[in-house]
Copies of this chain bind each other. A is one copy, B any other.
Amino acid sequence: MLFLDIRDNDFTAKFGTILARGEETGREVEQTVLGIIADVRKRGDAAVLELTRRFDRLEAASVAELEVTPAEIEAAFAQVAEADAAALKLAVERVARFHEKQKQQTWISTEEPDIMLGQKVTPLARVGIYVPGGKASYPSSVIMNAVPARVAGVGEIIMVAPTPGGQINPHVLVAAKLAGVDRIFRMGGAQAVAALAYGTETIPKVDKVTGPGNIYVATAKKLVFGQVGIDMIAGPSEILVINDGSGNPVHIAADLLSQAEHDELASSILITTDRAFGERVAAEVERQLAQLSREAIARASWDKYGAVIVAADLDEVIAFSNRIAPEHLELAVADPFAILSRITNAGAIFMGHWTPEAAGDYLAGPNHTLPTGGTARFFSPLSVDDFVKKSSIVYFSEGGLKRLGSDIMRIAGLEGLEAHAKSVGKRLE
């Protein structure tokens, strides 16, 4: 862990190692993934079956066999404790309620004589949701991807999840059912992304692929971008906690560790105007680390990518935060609403001392799929917007074209596009 003062001369150099942790995919990964995509495009189901056998050790006679059956979903409900299913249901309901507020309407303006302009909002017809397998197979990921799609009105939601050895987490199946997923296939990796993007004999081609995954999945998503839509390029996760000396170091240490336990590349950073408070948090992190079941992961993350930074005042703190554009930002200050308007770059903002990041991870309502690694400068949280597209609407009556025709023809003329001008001119002749 780095304990730094932002005013130190070597601050930027030292802190740079944390910022650089998620850099760039190796070219070998890209070559491998390009090969897999080409194979799935060429051989379809046969390629998917072979790659699933190789990477997931799962034998199947056909891709149809990889689909999860209604009976399997029923069995999952029977396996899951009632209180657990109820908590997942609460999460689905709360996430749906939040995302309903993101829905945009088709509109058309009628304020101008002879001309109407508008924007039609249409849900995507079919989307694919990638859910990681194994230890990172989280029901909350299913909910956070499927619910916005369902709220948007997507026609069909297809989920894919690698199932090493065929095992699939029953909580994931329950979450998928509650969240409105239509079909589930046991397949993962770059081959699953390729199958969704291009379609195979059995897997229908989708319009967009969303969801987290390992480096092969992320690379595959990047490479199929343009063939289908994708949500965002996600890197390792991070939290920044902003503090003014108020609040409880025990709570803030716990929040830093909730991020650190995700994986060894996660980064947890506190920036405070109060050095003594920062020291108490650092000590408390050490104390709590020893009590964690995922101590090894959390410790590796904290040792390598954790930091406590001391700054002179909140101005300096806010400038730093906006510069690194954190995925998760806790405003652990006495009056978080007083500084909200000054936060320009952040995936999600957790306000005050009673809003741990974990609240937002599961069921507050907002999406937990957030831009990482500084991309909150330009990416937004996953939302209903990701599952619709827009079409412009332009209507001119004869009167409208008469009114604007000469200006249209003039600009077409400037650009040397005579046929553009003629398409107007011939109507006005």
Whether a CB of chain B sits under 8 angstroms from the CB of A191 is: no
The answer to whether B389 and A380 touch across the interface, beta carbons within 8 angstroms, is yes
A267 → chain B closest CB, angstroms: 15
Whether a CB of chain B sits under 8 angstroms from the CB of A418 is: yes
A426 → chain B closest CB, angstroms: 5
The answer to whether A349 and B391 touch across the interface, beta carbons within 8 angstroms, is yes
Whether a CB of chain B sits under 8 angstroms from the CB of A122 is: yes
Whether a CB of chain B sits under 8 angstroms from the CB of A246 is: no
- Chain B residues with Cβ below 8 Å from A410 are 83-84, 87
Choose from B292, B293, B352, B378 the contact partner of A124 (Cβ within 8 Å).
B378
Whether a CB of chain B sits under 8 angstroms from the CB of A360 is: yes
| Closest B residue to A407 using CB positions | B87
CB-CB under 8 A for A258 and B423, given A90-B407, A366-B117, A396-B359: yes
The answer to whether B401 and A349 touch across the interface, beta carbons within 8 angstroms, is no
- Chain B residues with Cβ below 8 Å from A424 are 356, 358-359
| Closest B residue to A34 using CB positions | B27
8 Å CB contacts to B: which residues of A408-422? 408, 410-412, 414-422
Whether a CB of chain B sits under 8 angstroms from the CB of A324 is: no
The 0/1 profile, CB within 8 Å of B marked 1, for residues 340-351 of chain A is 100111111111
CB-CB under 8 A for A404 and B363, given A261-B418, A411-B87: yes
CB-CB under 8 A for A376 and B389, given A233-B226, A350-B394: yes
Whether a CB of chain B sits under 8 angstroms from the CB of A381 is: yes
CA distance A119 to B52 in the complex (A): 40
- Chain B residues with Cβ below 8 Å from A39 are none
The answer to whether A422 and B288 touch across the interface, beta carbons within 8 angstroms, is yes
- Chain B residues with Cβ below 8 Å from A385 are 385
Choose from B117, B412, B419 the contact partner of A298 (Cβ within 8 Å).
B419
The answer to whether B207 and A393 touch across the interface, beta carbons within 8 angstroms, is no
| Closest B residue to A402 using CB positions | B354
The 7 A-B residue pairs with the shortest CB-CB distance in the complex, in nearest-first order: A366-B392, A226-B233, A229-B378, A351-B395, A380-B390, A348-B392, A254-B423
Q: A residues near B, CB below 8 A?
A: 83-84, 87-88, 90-91, 98, 101-102, 104, 107, 109, 115-117, 119-120, 122, 124-125, 135, 138-140, 171, 207-208, 222, 225-226, 228-229, 232-233, 248, 250-251, 254-255, 257-258, 260-262, 288, 292-294, 298, 329, 336, 340, 343-352, 354-367, 370-371, 375-381, 383, 385, 389-398, 400-401, 404, 407-408, 410-412, 414-424, 426-427
